[in-house]
Amino acid sequence: MDKYKVLLVDDEENVINVILKKINWEDLGFEVIGYAQNGTAALEMAEEEQPDVVMTDIKMPYMDGLELSRHLKDEFPNVKILLFTGFDEFEYAKEAIHLEVEEYVLKPIDKEELTGVFSRIKNNLDQETVDRNNLEKLEKYYMDSLPLLQMNFYTTLIEGSIKSDYLQKFMDDYRISMEGPYFSCAMVHASKHHLPEGMTPVLLNIYIENYLKEKMKSKWKAKIFSYLGDVVMLIECGAEKEISEFTDDMNRMCRMISHQMDAVVTCGVGKVCSDLMKMNESYNGAREAVSYRVIYGTGRAINISEVVPIEESNNPIKVSDESTLNNLFKKILMSDEEDIRKSSDNYVDNTLSKIKDIKNYKIAIMELVSNIYRFAANNHIETSSLSDSKLDLYNELPQMELMNFREWLSDFSVSMHKAVLESRSNTTRSFVSKSIDYLKAHFNEEELSLDEVSGEMGVSSSYFSSVFKKETGKSFVSYLTDYRLDRALVLLMEKQEKTYVIANMVGYSDPNYFSYVFKKKYGMSPSKYKQSKTFGDRLTNV
């Protein structure tokens, strides 16, 4: 069995060393994954390492242990927190109880007491693991889940099979309340190729259902059920913009389940609608969003409104009624070259090859060309850059033999697919470039944050983080910190100002924290750096 991860937090390194030596971590079933000297650094480590237990001092610079505990409970509800301090004050104890802290220990730390504390925490963690993997409990949850009539209503709603005249009657009969005023559908897909030992896909979906009911149902008034091997959520929003917050919540859910269950889970979020009768459109968008995992990666939430190219409101996409043509366009957007060529051949075989009248054949070709141009325009594809761009499609394609047309359509479809990928790449680069411009214009504002910039860009913070790191190679916080410190280097040499003034000029109100991050990157304090450069310049002038 894997060891439980422990993160130690104290601004005094000698205290950390004492704690490390106090108990036999391995025998107790724990491993210390590292330590941090303040709450800010601890949060960054928790984000990366996902510890099971955080043992923290209360009194620390920049962010104390109680504030750290509040952040941890918000971001990682299942983490166990152990507080220790030399300050035996009742107010601390009351706050610790309010935060649902597991243990509260006073310094100096006694070896037997600390061993007993971690033994109790280990027992609690073991019990939670047993509960999560209790197949009988999951099966019972499944039998006691949503009543059959309600689930049947939800499935027919996302299938678009309910007539508007009967909608309210069904909701009244089944005692279903969905007031909105806005709605959206999300789909959670668990990989069938990465399952915990002894777990089947069905049982994993049951776990996901119950996790969502516990963590998401109340906040989002969610209706949660299984459908076609996936878990589906119907949610209510007070405003359209809340979908970004929901996307971030689902993104954290995917990461949490991946950590707890060692399972790969991806969530697709459909478009917001104000009419329940359009819930099937939102569901189709959620399914499409999940398929984008091949581009944006698994184990996260993907909002279809953030990844699909924006359509011109006055020129919506209209494709042929032929299902094979719809499928071809979807393959161009989502699949690889092999699937695109197969779909192209399928369109020719099931549509054009069955037309025996030359007049109708030419009409079909003209309609196809019109749909191709419309599809290209709505996906920002310059047809002049595609293969055979000099070919007069309207005049020459109807004259082309079917065998030659088959080859042309296959190559042209692949060219459009490559153009779509290039358009997405350009859009992403432009999006990141704008966010960097905003960062550079506002870097000196202390409150500048990822949420603020993602809000300015009009996307969820989870999507912004993913795209920003993919394009720059750095997280937003790292990029902002590096830019601020680079500006600080210039100002230290150009301005005859105190360190605290320079710190404020680059967005740090706390000069001590500025010195901390500066030294962390450059190996010396700002004042020493300035002195070393000044001394070097003097030597050069001698």
Average pLDDT over residues 454-471: 83
Reported as a pLDDT band with limits 50, 70 and 90, residue 135 is low
User: Which residues 6+ apart lie within 8 Å of 127 measured at CB?
Assistant: none
Q: What is the pLDDT of residue 295?
A: 55
Average pLDDT over residues 336-355: 84
Task: Report percent pLDDT > 90 for the chain.
Answer: 27
Q: What is the pLDDT of residue 496?
A: 82
DSSP string covering 416-467: HHHHHHHHHHHHHHHHHHHHHHHHHHHTT-TT--HHHHHHHHTS-HHHHHHH
Query: Which of these three, 384, 418, 452, is where a domain ends?
Result: 418
Q: Assess whether 199 and 270 both reside in one domain.
A: yes
Q: What is the pLDDT of residue 469?
A: 86
**Residues 225 and 440: beta-carbon distance below 8 Å:** no
In-domain check, residue 122: yes
In terms of average pLDDT, the best of 103-117, 258-272, 371-385 is 258-272
Structure-model confidence comparison of residues 127 and 427, the more confident one: 127
Q: What is the pLDDT of residue 252?
A: 92
Structure-model confidence comparison of residues 126 and 422, the more confident one: 126
Structure-model confidence comparison of residues 289 and 100, the more confident one: 289
Domain span at residue 176 reads 143-307
Reported as a pLDDT band with limits 50, 70 and 90, residue 92 is low
Query: Which of these three, 104, 132, 160, is where a domain ends?
Result: 132
Q: What is the pLDDT of residue 458?
A: 80
Q: What is the pLDDT of residue 249?
A: 93
Structure-model confidence comparison of residues 516 and 136, the more confident one: 516
Average pLDDT over residues 382-398: 67
In-domain check, residue 316: no
Q: What is the pLDDT of residue 541?
A: 40
Q: What is the pLDDT of residue 540?
A: 41
Average pLDDT over residues 350-369: 75
Reported as a pLDDT band with limits 50, 70 and 90, residue 185 is very high
In-domain check, residue 387: yes
Closest by alpha carbon to 247, among 199, 285, 190, 197?
A: 285
- Give the count of beta carbons closer than 10 Å to the beta carbon of residue 263: 20
* CATH of residue 297: 3.30.70.270
**Residues 460 and 248: beta-carbon distance below 8 Å:** yes
Task: Examine the pLDDT at 429 and tell me if it is beyond 70.
Answer: no
- Give the count of beta carbons closer than 10 Å to the beta carbon of residue 146: 16
* CATH of residue 89: 3.40.50.2300
Structure-model confidence comparison of residues 130 and 301, the more confident one: 301
Average pLDDT over residues 388-398: 69
CA count, 13 A, side-chain hemisphere, 20? 15
Q: Which one-letter amino acid corresponds to residue 480? A: L
Reported as a pLDDT band with limits 50, 70 and 90, residue 113 is confident
Closest by alpha carbon to 133, among 183, 206, 216?
A: 206
Q: Assess whether 255 and 379 both reside in one domain.
A: no
Q: Assess whether 36 and 78 both reside in one domain.
A: yes
> Would you give the DSSP letter of residue 3?
P
> Would you give the DSSP letter of residue 392?
-
Average pLDDT over residues 109-120: 88
DSSP string covering 64-114: -HHHHHHHHHHH-TT-EEEEEES---HHHHHHHHHTT-SEEEESSPPHHHH
Mean pLDDT of the chain: 82
> Would you give the DSSP letter of residue 231?
E
| Residue 352 to residue 404: CA distance in whole angstroms | 13
Q: Give the phi and the psi of residue 336 in degrees, each rounded to 5.
A: -100, 180
DSSP string covering 142-178: HHTSS-HHHHHHHHHHHHT-S-HHHHHHHHHHTT---
Q: What is the pLDDT of residue 385?
A: 61
Q: Assess whether 117 and 155 both reside in one domain.
A: no
Q: Assess whether 372 and 495 both reside in one domain.
A: no
Q: What is the pLDDT of residue 388?
A: 54
In-domain check, residue 346: yes
- What is the four-CA torsion angle of 483, 487, 489, 494, rounded to 10 degrees? 170
Average pLDDT over residues 140-168: 81
Q: Give the phi and the psi of residue 478 in degrees, each rounded to 5.
A: -65, -40
Q: What is the pLDDT of residue 292?
A: 73
**Number of independent structural domains in the chain:** 4
CA separation (Å) from 261 to 51, 129, 205, 369, 462? 14, 9, 12, 49, 21
Q: Assess whether 291 and 391 both reside in one domain.
A: no
Task: Report percent pLDDT > 70 for the chain.
Answer: 85
* CATH of residue 520: 1.10.10.60
Q: What would the two tokens of residue 165 be?
A: 């005249």
Q: Assess whether 55 and 104 both reside in one domain.
A: yes
Task: Examine the pLDDT at 25 and tell me if it is beyond 80.
Answer: yes
Query: Which of these three, 282, 307, 332, is where a domain ends?
Result: 307
Q: Which of 194-203, 256-265, 424-433, 530-539 has the lowest mean pLDDT?
A: 530-539
Q: Assess whether 222 and 284 both reside in one domain.
A: yes
Q: Assess whether 376 and 474 both reside in one domain.
A: no
Q: Assess whether 125 and 148 both reside in one domain.
A: no
In-domain check, residue 266: yes
- Give the count of beta carbons closer than 10 Å to the beta carbon of residue 364: 18
In-domain check, residue 314: no
Q: pLDDT per residue over 289-323, tens digit each?
A: 887 775 566 889 999 888 765 433 333 333 344 57
Q: What is the pLDDT of residue 425?
A: 65
Task: Examine the pLDDT at 494 and tell me if it is beyond 50.
Answer: yes
In-domain check, residue 477: yes
In terms of average pLDDT, the best of 27-41, 464-478, 521-535 is 27-41
Q: Helices 402-442 and 323-334, interaxial angle, to 10°?
A: 40
H-helix or E-strand spanning residue 189: strand 182-190
Reported as a pLDDT band with limits 50, 70 and 90, residue 539 is very low
Q: Assess whether 122 and 8 both reside in one domain.
A: yes
Task: Examine the pLDDT at 29 and tell me if it is beyond 90.
Answer: yes
Q: What is the pLDDT of residue 188?
A: 94
In-domain check, residue 281: yes
Q: Assess whether 10 and 128 both reside in one domain.
A: yes
